[in-house]
Structure 1
């Protein structure tokens, strides 16, 4: 789609939403006589954020931020990060073939499948990091707001934020009894119940208890077994949050959260047969299996297999704050986290067992941060240090009994078990200074030193039934033969390690260390000529720590890590409030110089040819622009359009292997999962029905441009552009104490897919969500 046609399409799709303004325009003169709003009345401009680890109005923060309240997310049906494309310009979500979520902002993400892969876009609960993407599924429970920070966030938010950060702010106790719940029921018998109760226990102690339960029937339909369904939901979580203020200058906040996920993993759609190593074990039925239809609901999966997950996450944090006056405020953050995973995944989207996986794993995390901030004269400062310890045990049983991988050198190969155990220790020391050069100009500087020590305690492709051991022995002999050495091999016991160390041609687990340090920094200047205009320019450098993969490794070389990546970011932007607060416009242009981008590529193997491994792209770059506008032309009407343009490019001369094992020069290609254009428009018009009740009607449009799921820009791996529409209408009390909303999502039942990938002998796609209808009742007390 050309840029002209994209803009034309954006205008056409915006037009229906713009029609919502027509009823209100008749009252424009009346609204004008009633008095215009002030900038502080502008809903978006008045949002208080903590992006700089202190409270400030979003319009006074000189960086690109998107913020939304918990109520706004509920209205839009945003229940997890997969739906943030509706509200965050430049944000992309996709799942890998192993079900691991990947977040990308402005083209910066990490397409890795391992449980222990540190993301390029990090997530936080009240500034406490949740370090791995698999743990982030339930972070949207009972939110006060969500802040999305764009660009490198290395100075204040740690070392793994080359792309940005998602900061979830939990709802807090109130000074009097309050409560609320949201109850939704929709298509496929989907029930979503969320509620909270907050109250003071004593004059100094307050509590807030929150819970959420989601259940629903499977919406995916089997192509070959009428009546067979997949995708049921069963998700439960709860939180207890205590705030104790024993004195006027001391506050302690305790957050205890627990969740379990027993929902079914979704199946990809089968698209095309592409044999990894063609052979007689591939059934003719799989070779000739029909391509999935253009229907978001239709796929297929292995019969008589239970795809229910059993994932559990436990989060505890303790925040202590001591206020010593304007010049000194001490904050301590302590956190313990545990994640346990069992997640079966359908790999090929057919009833044949070409590929299926069962992922097991656990993560233990300890985090401690101590910082001091305050204001002295014209200077506002933050200094601090933090420490994080992570232990990750990642196991995946790979099942491929009807595939080309089921025989190696003529030896039948049973199930295998890639396994890694990693230990991570991260130390950071940071400082930030904002200095008011005048009443209109402020200079900003931040710096962080990070020492990231990652250790691969054990990395191996483990035998399960003795077959991988026999194959490993054959590979050992083959390697000796190629080297002109006596053909020998070392027997491997059942359950032993079959991965081969090429140095001594012995089966043994990989052990390695990757210790690196870096210096992240940020410099900026902002100019505020009036209270309604903020102009800013920033330059920053952020780093993301190196990583070891978890994969089916024939040799220990596949466990070689990638080194840390770095982004040097230039950004200039403006935040403008106009028309007495009825227009809020935020825009930015940016350029990223990207070094050592981390990707899951391939390296040549002596026995199997190119096999998966992590690699670094030496040079690449991104430039682009975004515009986010909130319009309140008349009382009751809000229109919020946003658009992002991204131009990403791999550096010249980057040579690796594509998804089909062919070597190629990918220099000049755009990044996978990085469309040039993204746009969304949300609009709502509310009007009084009587003295106590308002009615409202609204809608949301999302446009996602075309991109590709891998290097090589193969057509079979393309992700086509798509546009989806949501609609809503309902009634609410004038004081918003209750609201009844009827909604439709993907109103036109648009067929689209969010990921495209090759696994074993097939190319597959993850389809988007089908059309759904439902209602939500929200009540506050």
Structure 2
């Protein structure tokens, strides 16, 4: 494979633009948006064909690439600025977790099947860790809310996000965009697009982000900074149309990230060994007396001289090929072949202090293959899609943690669970939309899915015998309670998970399983007139069963959980008036069976330990509304509000809270499910000269309080927050623009998640007030 660096990425971006002939580019310069443009009709592909957003009977948020840039959406984590009801949190290793309307799955593992599926041009990225470079050079993004199992398959019970890349053009064009902020972080992004032959158009886009250490230590001692970026992305699209009845789109992308992992903020000391068990550092004392950070997003303490450098080192490749073949005037055959590979690595300070207690690494690979074939029939009043797809995922995962001074382990011990996971999925599906009359439309669809999984887990000894001695001692204790003599079976073995009673001998956990399900959807749309549509929708979706990735002292911690099932009911309306007004609103209710969650259970002699469990019955319900209005020439107002109530109805077997106490979770809500979330954006465009336009904008996000766990004790609380951004700029019809911006104008102190980290609790803070300048030129 070719190895890139951030500097080489700059050369690639610059070269892509430089090779385009200047004379041709000048003829295709882009003019700024006109002040009286108003609201245009938004075309989406939510049902795998082009439709007007106002004609699709489901809740969809669609934002153009230009709107995303204006809002400061530079990666998938910042997509929450554009989508109400969407939350994106990070686990303790920085892996993203997506929730829509409260439906999410919180798991610190590469092999965790999500509840929100992600696609780039309909090519799947089936695991959240694969989504690092999706925001490069976009035409638009579509966020579909509610179960999408019929057309998008398993693991879309909360919804689906489809990133649509900007496509090759049949005229030469190019552009470059660069930004710098108050912390010295520099970003440059560019593209070049145009014809190579009469039938082949190509687009090349690249970006790099460098520097910007924005976090800093807050306790006495050497001043340490972290948070700097070192990442880049490259995408090549080739659109080949050899005939009027056939077209192909080849997508090649590469993404790499060697940035600093974001440092955590300590929120509460809670030594796992109980009060007084924590290590006492000669300089900084115990975690129990360690000062908590000030109310400052930038404050974060880290160990000065870690055993391994705190860094990320991710590298990902994706290749997809789409072919569309017109078999007749009404029938099209579509083939989508997809491959993605990720090499993942992160090493970070896991205790959020200068005390050297826990250093955590997570590494592994994801390799996924997929193939979809479908036929689309578009007849006078009937659209039909039938198809099949198959995929295979292979994931290797390790989590070597070094414990210099963890309260419940011997000093300098290392643990390393190692797992291999394989998932093979096949599915067949059908979807139909029948226009019964000019006003009334019926929709329906179903998908049969079979998933075969295999999983193995080994609790490895690092080679110094420390894991063998520790686990072997526990096993012998279990044996003595059963009247058995000690065993030396743990000496010299690689895998040290304690097997079942009565022998408690070491095992390598291995299991295979097969799941089947049928997702379905039925709905109706009724157009009262050309401006107003009401709709109703009932759908069912599934999230695949799975295995936990944990430090498994006993094999009982590795049991598989059942697949989730959601039955969703939604009703809503959509209203639009010309190019001046657009309103949509919907109410929803979810009946949730076998929700998967990590929880604590009591293991004899070991106390609380993490396992993956099913919550037998829970529910979610709420409503949302979105408004876009252009009341006068040049002014656009946009706002959206989501209300969500989540509730566990039947929690199942006894679970523990974060302090090891038995607790009844009945009535608790879901993690990362704020009751209220809202976004707004206001933009005013004013001509200020010949071919010159001033742009003023303000946007913001509000989330009410939420929690980082179904254990809704205080350490997991995430307080409510509101952030406001502002921008002001000039755009010229000659293709250039300059924008000054401020993000988090009021420097609101907030955080995006809350986690237990071994000897305490920690949070990931939001970004502080930031300001900068963006310059762009489009040829």
TM-score, scaled relative to structure 1? 0.92
Residue of structure 2 in register with 1:166 after alignment: 161
What is the deviation of 1:397?
A: 0.7
Whether contact under 8 Å (1:154, 1:160) holds in the other structure is yes
Q: Out of 745, 748, 760, which is 1:747 matched to?
A: 745
CA distance in 2, matches of 1:622, 1:457: 34
CA contact (8 A) 1:702 1:723 kept: yes
Q: Superposition pairs for residues 123-522 of structure 1, below 5 Å?
A: 123-224=118-219, 225-278=221-274, 282-283=279-280, 284-305=285-306, 306-407=309-410, 414-493=413-492, 496-503=494-501, 504-522=503-521
Q: Hey, what's the Cα distance between the residues in 2 that align with 1:510 and 1:217? A: 44
In the TM superposition, what whole-angstrom CA distance separates every residue of 1:187-231 from its partner, at most 9, and x where no partner exists? 211111111100100001110001010012211101234431011
Contact 1:174 1:206 in 2 (8 A): yes
Please say if residues 354 and 760 of structure 1, whose CA atoms lie closer than 8 Å, have aligned partners that are also in contact. no
Aligned position for 1:731: 730
Contact 1:254 1:319 in 2 (8 A): yes
| Aligned-partner Cα distance in 2 for 1:692–1:491 | 78
Distance 1:667 1:332, change over 3 A: same
Q: Secondary structure at the match of 2:183?
A: helix
Q: Deviations over 1:100-131 (max 9, x none)?
A: 11010000000111111011111101101101
For 2:126 and 2:458, how far apart are their aligned partners in 1?
A: 21
Instruction: State the alpha-carbon separation in 2 of the partners of residues 181 and 122 from structure 1.
Output: 31
Contact 1:725–1:747 (CA under 8 A) maintained in structure 2: yes
Please state how far the C-alpha of 1:734 moved relative to its aligned partner.
4.7
Contact 1:405 1:760 in 2 (8 A): no
SS in 1 for 2:237: strand
* 2:51 matched residue in structure 1: 56
Offset from partner CA, 1:228-281 (integer Å, 9 cap, x none): 101110001101111111101101111110111000001110122111114656
Q: CA deviation at 1:703?
A: 0.9
In the alignment, the residues of structure 2 paired with residue 541 and residue 280 of structure 1 have an alpha-carbon distance, to the nearest angstrom, of 49
Report the Cα offset of residue 459 of structure 1: 4.0
Which stretch has the larger CA shift, 500-509 or 62-71? 500-509
String of CA shifts for 1:425-473, please: whole Å, max 9, x gaps: 0111000000111111110001000001111033435444210101121
Shift of 1:778: 2.2
Is the CA contact (8 Å cut-off) linking 2:417 and 2:457 kept in structure 1? no
User: CA–CA distance in 1 between the matches of 2:359 and 2:530?
Assistant: 58
Question: Which residue does 2:13 correspond to in 1?
Answer: none
Measured against aligned partners, the alpha-carbon deviations of 1:301-357 in whole angstroms (never above 9, x if no partner) come to: 111232121100000001111012342100001111110011112212101122221
Query: Pairwise mapping of residues 594-605 of structure 1 onto structure 2 (< 5 A)?
Result: 594-605=592-603
Distance verdict in 2 for CA 1:459–1:131, change over 3 Å:
farther
Match of 1:555 in 2: 554
d(CA) in 2 for partners of 1:80, 1:590: 29
Which residue of structure 2 lines up, in the alignment, with residue 25 of structure 1?
none
Secondary structure of the structure 2 residue equivalent to 1:571? strand
Q: 1:579-594 to 2 correspondence within 5 Å?
A: 580-594=578-592
Equivalent residue, structure 1, for 2:16: none
Partner of 2:6: none
Query: Where does the alignment leave 5 or more consecutive residues of structure 1 unmatched?
Result: 1-34
Q: Counterpart of 2:18?
A: none
Measured in 2, the distance between the counterparts of 1:214 and 1:352 equals 31
Q: Distance in 2 between matches of 1:697 and 1:600?
A: 45
Partner of 2:713: 714
3-state DSSP class of the match of 1:298? coil
Do the aligned partners of 2:35 and 2:685 also contact (CA within 8 Å) in 1?
Answer: no
Distance 1:144 1:506 in 2: 57
Per the alignment, residue 542 of structure 1 pairs with 541
Matches of 2:491 and 2:195, distance apart in 1:
63
SS in 1 for 2:631: coil
The answer (yes or no) to whether the contact 1:413–1:467 under 8 Å persists in 2 is no
Deviates further, 299-308 or 510-519:
299-308
Query: Tell me, what secondary structure is at the counterpart of 1:632?
Result: strand
Give the 3-state SS of the residue equivalent to 2:727 in structure 1: strand
Distance 1:110 1:658 in 2: 18
Specify whether residues 690 and 475 from structure 1 end up closer, same or farther in structure 2 by C-alpha distance, changes over 3 A only.
Answer: same
| Counterpart pick for 2:109 among 103, 114, 124 | 114
The whole-number CA distance in structure 1 between the counterparts of 2:328 and 2:682 is 43
Alpha-carbon distance in 2 for matches of 1:493, 1:164: 48
1:625 aligns with 623
Query: 1:462 and 1:164, CA in 2 relative to 1: closer, same or farther beyond 3 A?
Result: farther
CA distance in structure 1 between the partners assigned to 2:328 and 2:177 by the alignment: 40
Paired with 1:669 and 1:569, the residues of 2 have a C-alpha distance of 20
Task: Rate the CA distance shift 1:368–1:624 in 2: closer, same or farther, 3 A.
Answer: same
Contact 2:38–2:636, Cα closer than 8 Å, also in 1: no
Native 8 Å contact 2:615 2:651 kept in 1? no
Alignment of 1:614-763 (within 5 A): 614-654=612-652, 655-734=654-733, 737-763=735-761
Distance 2:305 2:389 in 1: 48
CA deviation digits over 1:672-713, x for unaligned, max 9?
211111111110111110121010111112111001122342
Distance 1:66 1:204, change over 3 A: same
Q: Deviations over 1:72-100 (max 9, x none)?
A: 11111101121122110100011111211
Identify the residue that residue 3 of structure 1 maps to in structure 2. none
SS in 2 for 1:312: strand
Distance change >3 Å, CA 294–CA 36, structure 1 → 2: closer
- Match of 1:577, SS state, is strand
RMSD (Å) for aligned C-alpha atoms: 1.6
- Contact residue 458 and residue 495 of structure 2 kept, 8 A: no
Return closer, same or farther for 1:273/1:145 CA change in 2, 3 Å cut-off.
Answer: same
Counterpart position of 1:771? 769
Q: Give the match for residue 9 of structure 2.
A: none
Checking the alignment, whether the CA contact within 8 Å between 1:415 and 1:464 is kept in structure 2 is no
Aligned positions, number: 736
> Which residues in structure 2 correspond to 1:24-35 (within 5 Å)?
none
Assess, with a 3 A threshold, how the Cα gap between structure 1 residues 36 and 262 changes in structure 2: closer, same or farther: closer
Residues 271 and 277, structure 2, Cα contact 8 Å, conserved in 1: no
Distance 1:566 1:461, change over 3 A: farther
Offset, 1:486: 2.8
- What CA distance in whole angstroms lies between the structure 1 residues aligned with 2:710 and 2:204? 47
